[in-house]
Amino acid sequence: MDKDWTKDLEHDEYEFNIDLIIKDALQAMEETKKGHFVNLVTVETFGNPVDYIQPLLEELYPNQVKIKFIDQCGCGGYVLRVWKS
């Protein structure tokens, strides 16, 4: 994506499949062009993505990402913003 965008990893098949959340979060990073961010919106079931997505992104993209936890949504999900530099 050559723009800032949001990837919804919160509904349907994501609700009970952490492997799919991680897979599609990584795919979203691949699709995000440098200089832009993607909001990864994850389901409440697995907790804060800072604990399971952020370490993986920092390992796979050393010095190439900036990550900020935005908030827990009113519906229970979480928003993690990831800039690609």
**Predicted local distance difference test score (pLDDT) of residue 35:** 95
Does the pTM surpass 0.75? The reply is yes
Among 7-11, 35-39, 70-74, the range scoring the smallest mean pLDDT is 70-74
**Predicted local distance difference test score (pLDDT) of residue 1:** 85
The helix (H) or strand (E) run that includes residue 18 is: helix 18-31
- Domain range list for the chain: 1-36+48-65
**Predicted local distance difference test score (pLDDT) of residue 73:** 79
